[in-house]
Copies of this chain bind each other. A is one copy, B any other.
Amino acid sequence: MSDEKSFHMTPEEFRRQGRAVVDWIADYYQRIESFPVLSRAKPGEIRAGLPPEPPRQGEPFEAILEEIEKLILPGVTHWQSPNFFAYFPANASGPAILGELLSAGLGVQGMLWATSPACTELETHVLDWLVGMLGLPDKFLSRGPGGGVIQDTASSASLCALLAARERATGFSSNQRGCDGRLVAYTSSQAHSSIEKGVKIAGLGRENLRLIEVDASFAMRPEALAQALDQDRRAGRLPCFVCATVGTTSSNALDPVAAIGRICQAQGVWLHVDAAMSGTAALCPEFRHLHNGVELADSYCFNPHKWMFTNFDCDCFYVADRKALIETLSVLPEYLRTRASESGAVIDYRDWQIPLGRRFRALKLWFVIRHYGVEGLRHHIRRHVELAQRFAAWVGEDERFELAAPAPLNLVCFRHRGGDAANQTLMDRLNQSGHLYLTHTRLNDRLTLRLAVGQTHTEARHVERAWKRIQEEAARLS
């Protein structure tokens, strides 16, 4: 043992405090419904409780944990509450939390195969599992020229896809020479904002992103895409990237991937499919039609950290041709050379992503799949869809309300027929009540409420109460 002076937590203290944190979390989940879902903190209120200077001497861990309760919790919006219906679910689960804990404890870097072979190989393996689990095309399996990798978010996955597309379209010269204003990208007007952000980051410029119009279901119109591509080609521009969405953020619209894919293939343009939330539904055979046409895609992503009980961050990103991705993102300084890499027998995931470092995120995904099993995951996904469909039916039966878009899965877009002001008041009152939390979008230029069912512990009673509360607030409107 050590005889050096040390301020480190001893293993015995780690055991003791670790148990305290585990118990704190278990208690938190047992009382989570007692908190207002949306935090009531005012701007600056949390900071006002924190000391202006850091401590000079260390403090006991008990004191820190006490302040979580007192200082932090009032500023928490409870994403894991079963009454959270806002944005998208970012659902966590026991096995995922413990996988994250183990990953932090091991503290390995997976930037290269050699820096922890298990970190790379478990990731490749679990991502291969998911190809089968979601009915994705075999070309995304690592045994061929493709493969999968965990990214932090769909934003980063889409950016990596765009960069590889940019490189492929320029004969792998844009990395060397930079962008020259000719490259063009395409997505629907309903696509996630990260596509616009990516186009800016990658140096294409917002002017070179075409937001293709959508049909009445908010899905991309393939003929409008074909037209835009033709027009750009005729103008001497270089179409390089199309992003189709399976389940848009705003309204869960499903772009017609097969029709879009045929156009991209004919034109030789990279097709990326963003199925961030909805991809998880394909675990169930009855929803697998979502992935029709994905066999024509060059890349695909979905987020277990949205709807598959795996805490953030965990986006699964697949490419059909990993060489295009690696050639785009690889930089090899001497200090990162290893014999294993040079043998070509291993994957170095640093070349599949923007950052260099990476933690052992496959652990939590592996834990989730093993804890639930494929059937357990299916059960809960089905249940969420069923609850959302039940909610949609109630909306349809209440003449004060209308559905604002098709609800193919677990997201229901609806509105009060009283107009924008009524819907804003309704939403504000519901959220201020603390009983539930839901957010909005605009569809056909009208304020629209969104109810996303996907939190781990959301059950029938929570959706029933949400609807009851919505009806109560609607009654107060007039």
Contacts and interface: CB of A to CB of B under 8 A. Distances in A.
B44 A121 contact: yes
B101 A18 contact: yes
Interface stretch (A265-273, A329-337, A399-407): A329-337
Nearest to A177: B205
**Copies of this chain in its oligomeric complex:** 2
A224 interface: no
A216 B297 CA distance: 51
A389 interface: no
Given A28-B105, A78-B108, A101-B101, 19 more contacts: A7-B376, A11-B27, A17-B94, A21-B105, A43-B117, A43-B343, A55-B373, A56-B374, A58-B371, A58-B373, A63-B370, A72-B363, A76-B106, A91-B107, A178-B208, A192-B333, A197-B329, A305-B357, A334-B442
Interface in A90-121: 90-98, 100-102, 104-109, 113-119, 121
Interface stretch (A125-133, A227-235, A316-324, A467-475): A125-133
A93 B18 CA distance: 12
B117 A39 contact: yes
Contacts of A201: 159, 163, 201-202, 354
A14 B25 contact: yes
Contacts of A56: 373-375
Contacts of A94: 8-9, 13-14, 17-18
Contacts of A22: 14-15, 18-19, 22, 101
Interface range on chain A (Cβ under 8 Å from partner) = 35 or more
Interface stretch (A239-247, A285-293, A390-398, A455-463): A455-463
Interface in A14-51: 14-15, 17-19, 21-30, 38-39, 41, 43-47, 50
A284 interface: no
A59 B373 contact: yes
Given A9-B94, A92-B107, A203-B203, A116 B335 contact: no
A102 B68 contact: yes
19 contacts: A4-B383, A4-B459, A7-B372, A8-B456, A11-B30, A22-B101, A28-B105, A43-B113, A46-B118, A47-B125, A57-B375, A61-B98, A76-B106, A77-B114, A155-B357, A193-B356, A201-B354, A249-B335, A250-B335
